[in-house]
Amino acid sequence: MIAMPEEVLMVSRGCRVLVGISAVGASVLGLTSMTAPAFAADTALIVGASGIPTPSPSYVDAAQNLYLDPLGYGSYTPQVVTTPEQLYPFTGPNALTLNNSIPQGVTALDTSIRPQLAAGNKVVVFAYSQGAGVASQEAANLAASPNPPSPGQLSFVLIGDPSTPNGGILTRFQIPGAPPLSLPSLGLTFSGAPTTNTPYPTAVYNEEYDAAGDSPQYPLNILADLNATVGFLTQHLGFLSLTPAQINSAVKLPTTGGNTSYYMIPAANLPLLAPVRLIPLVGDPIADLLQPDLRVLVNLGYGSITNGWSPDPANVVTPLGLFPTNINPADLVTALANGAVQGVTNALNDLKTPQLLDLSPLSPFLSGLSTVGFTPSATPSLQDLLNVFAIIANTGSPVTPANFGSQLLSLPKVLADTGTALTATLAQYDAQLFSSQLASGNVLNAAGLPIAADLGVAPFVAVVCAVFPVLEAVATTVVQAEQLVGLVPNPLTYPVPAARAASTTSASTASTKPVTAAVTNTAPTTPVANTAPAAPVNTGAPVTSAIKSLTPTGTSAPVNAPVSTAPKASGTPAAPTGGLTTTVTDSGAHAPAASAVTGAGVGGGTRVTGTSGSSGHSTASTGLHRAHG
């Protein structure tokens, strides 16, 4: 892995500062000798997600405020770990494949963990999405090593975890007797160590209907598949822009034991209806009319009527199946009848106070992008979206016109690779799956599981590996053309708000608080250039719209207030369940709908979570969006 840049990386938590220092940087800062990094007593290693190789200060702040602090890790000093976090072709046509990115990330994380453990320090690893997959594999490697770390010294907090045993997209296709689903043309294999069966205390948070960590258990339900695919956009990108109230509403899932606790954050609305809500005037009434019954039908894809997650133990690897066998037909009929009545009531309530345009479905997507460094502002623009997609398509590196048009020229190969995966490769996998099930004497599974697997994976792969690359290629080319005529900064990179700029000048102007040197990662990979600090975390300042845009460098968008810099109390961290709602999932009840609470997450927007079957949808402090009982 490349070394941390020679700059001061300020984390806006008054008593903590990270400094990446190379040999040259050490002499510039007047340090005559630095043979080994200095370690704090307790360290929180912060790992990024796909497209976020080096977490920004806003990412770190949100991770601590929303997850680490409530779990008892408030006294731990944050340290950013740079990992590849690439996913061909989602993060660009020249990106590493997931099969190559994750092993390099594991090496980088291991390089950061071991010196801390050797020094006798306690370590908690926070990781998101692909980073959570990296952390899961590292935990399994450490547990199986000749001298494994003590469970009292190492713990993990993972969000949006694709390696979740029951629901993770990387584990859902691990069918006994059959090889793991592999798409070689995309470098994507649905395997890896599930987040379970290690001795290390671990808390895993997923959002309902997010395909990454909550993929349907019964993918013959095409409604559930499509809903989860849209949920990857509306749910998966928003973990660091949730409110504390939303996270506290998380349902603790049942397990068969072990040191890992699993939490599911309920979704207020079906992602599948998000496009409908964007229809002017009639979008919300139509969506709220359909949602109660549609939600019941979608939930059947998880083996439930009331919840969009599997009722089976969360720590047991649960592959996809054909049909749920635990559904009482009478309960289903009753739920649909009640849903029809509720839908009419909700639609009529919407019509009493018509809304010209509900942009709230876009809010989680855009607010989540602020974790990579963009400054949320009140008014979205097409240029903001172009900038975002262009940077994602360049694996986080600055966008320049030097390779003008290359993204478009790469599209035929990208689409060919995706097409191969969805046709020839899936056909080959189907044949293997058919043969393995037939050999075990299960004729029904032999006929049905290949179809279920195709329906479960095809929509997700099509969106991530075809739709997004096309949007990114177009955006990159437009941005490059704008750079050539001076309309867009060259290079285009993550914005550095004025409030942050002063903290990146030199060590002499940095805080005099204790400083720790970031561990230099040595895992080989392609260079990733994302070094500019990003927007501070919104600590609850009101927003004026349900949608937030992303403002490039040089604009006058206001900078959000930084998070509190009050030092955290020291002490032993609480167990992963400390301070969190741990509702038993047998009842499956969601938290009751409540008034919106603005939290410390990135973006600062709020969403109301309603009871199961309700149609409470996203809200902002403008009060434009309502919650129905």
* C-alpha–C-alpha distance, residues 237 and 150, integer Å: 33
Residue 322 near residue 437 (C-beta atoms within 8 A): no
**Helical segments of 209-249, H only:** 222-234, 244-248
Amino acid letter for position 97: T
- Identify the pLDDT of residue 616: 42
- Collapsing DSSP states into helix, strand and coil, what is residue 563? coil
Residue 332 near residue 297 (C-beta atoms within 8 A): no
- Identify the pLDDT of residue 376: 54
* C-alpha–C-alpha distance, residues 268 and 360, integer Å: 12
Would you name the residues annotated as active-site residues? 129
- Identify the pLDDT of residue 583: 31
Q: Does any domain span residue 586?
A: yes
Over residues 311-334, the mean pLDDT reads 96
pLDDT at 20 over 80: no
Q: What is the mean pLDDT of the chain?
A: 76
- Identify the pLDDT of residue 245: 94
Over residues 612-625, the mean pLDDT reads 35
Q: CA torsion sign, 236 to 239 to 243 to 247?
A: positive
- Identify the pLDDT of residue 56: 86
Number of domains in the chain: 1
Residues shown for the chain: 629
* First-to-last C-alpha distance (Å) of the chain: 51
* C-alpha–C-alpha distance, residues 497 and 484, integer Å: 24
Mean pLDDT lowest among 292-296, 299-303, 585-589: 585-589
Higher-pLDDT residue of 156, 197? 156
The residue to which tokens 């876009």 are assigned: 362
Please give the sequence-ordered ranges of beta strands (E in DSSP) within 583-625, or none if there are none: 606-607, 618-619
pLDDT at 297 over 50: yes
pLDDT at 520 over 50: no
pLDDT in tens, 446-466: 999 999 999 999 999 999 999
Higher-pLDDT residue of 134, 394? 134
Q: Does any domain span residue 529?
A: no
- With pLDDT > 70 as the criterion, what percentage of the chain qualifies? 69
398, two tokens = 């600055």
Mean pLDDT lowest among 53-57, 302-306, 434-438, 469-473: 53-57
pLDDT in tens, 215-244: 999 999 999 999 999 999 889 988 998 889
Q: Which domain holds residue 288?
A: 7-522+539-619
3-class DSSP string for 267-290: CCCCHHHHHHHCCCCCHHHHHHHH
- Identify the pLDDT of residue 529: 34
Amino acid letter for position 519: V
Residue 521 near residue 81 (C-beta atoms within 8 A): yes
212, two tokens = 């990454």
3-class DSSP string for 82-141: CCCCCCCCCCCCCCCCHHHHHHHHHHHHHHHHHHHHHCCCEEEEEEECHHHHHHHHHHHH
pLDDT in tens, 325-369: 999 999 999 999 999 999 999 999 999 988 888 877 777 766 666
Mean pLDDT lowest among 14-18, 320-324, 375-379: 14-18
Determine how many CB atoms are found less than 10 A away from the CB of residue 574: 15
Q: Does any domain span residue 444?
A: yes
**Which residues have C-beta within 8 Å of that of residue 487, sequence separation ≥ 6?**
none
Residue 365 near residue 549 (C-beta atoms within 8 A): no
In this prediction, residue 271 has a pLDDT band, given cuts at 50, 70 and 90, of very high
pLDDT in tens, 545-590: 322 333 333 333 322 233 333 334 444 444 444 333 333 333 333 3
pLDDT at 99 over 80: yes
- Identify the pLDDT of residue 545: 30
- Select from 193, 224, 221 the least CA-distant residue to 208: 224
pTM to 2 decimals? 0.75
- Identify the pLDDT of residue 135: 97
Q: What Å distances lie between residue 158 and 18, 55, 141, 239, 366, CA to CA?
A: 22, 15, 17, 11, 22
Mean pLDDT lowest among 14-23, 202-211, 388-397, 422-431: 14-23
- Select from 207, 229, 76 the least CA-distant residue to 132: 207
- Identify the pLDDT of residue 375: 56
- Collapsing DSSP states into helix, strand and coil, what is residue 221? coil
The residue to which tokens 């250039």 are assigned: 529
- Identify the pLDDT of residue 387: 83
β-bridge mates for residue 77, sequence order: 43
- Identify the pLDDT of residue 444: 95
- Identify the pLDDT of residue 383: 81
What is 482-550 written as a DSSP string?
Answer: HHHTTSS-SSB-----HHHHGGGS-GGGS-SS-EEEPPPP----------S--PPPP-S---SSS--EE
pLDDT at 511 over 60: no
The residue to which tokens 């561990």 are assigned: 519
In this prediction, residue 14 has a pLDDT band, given cuts at 50, 70 and 90, of very low
pLDDT at 39 over 70: no
Q: Does any domain span residue 530?
A: no
- Identify the pLDDT of residue 373: 55
Residue 351 near residue 626 (C-beta atoms within 8 A): no
CA count, 13 A, side-chain hemisphere, 465: 25
In this prediction, residue 371 has a pLDDT band, given cuts at 50, 70 and 90, of low
The residue to which tokens 């470098």 are assigned: 187
Q: Does any domain span residue 628?
A: no
In this prediction, residue 270 has a pLDDT band, given cuts at 50, 70 and 90, of very high
Q: Does any domain span residue 2?
A: no
* C-alpha–C-alpha distance, residues 214 and 263, integer Å: 11
Q: Does any domain span residue 146?
A: yes
Burial class, 152, CB count within 10 angstroms (exposed 0-12 / middle 13-18 / buried 19+): exposed
pLDDT in tens, 581-617: 333 333 333 333 333 333 333 333 333 333 333 344 4
4, two tokens = 């941390």
Q: CA torsion sign, 84 to 87 to 90 to 94?
A: positive
pLDDT at 527 over 90: no
Break the chain down into helix, strand, coil percent, rounded to 5.
40, 10, 50
Q: Does any domain span residue 534?
A: no
Residue 82 near residue 521 (C-beta atoms within 8 A): yes
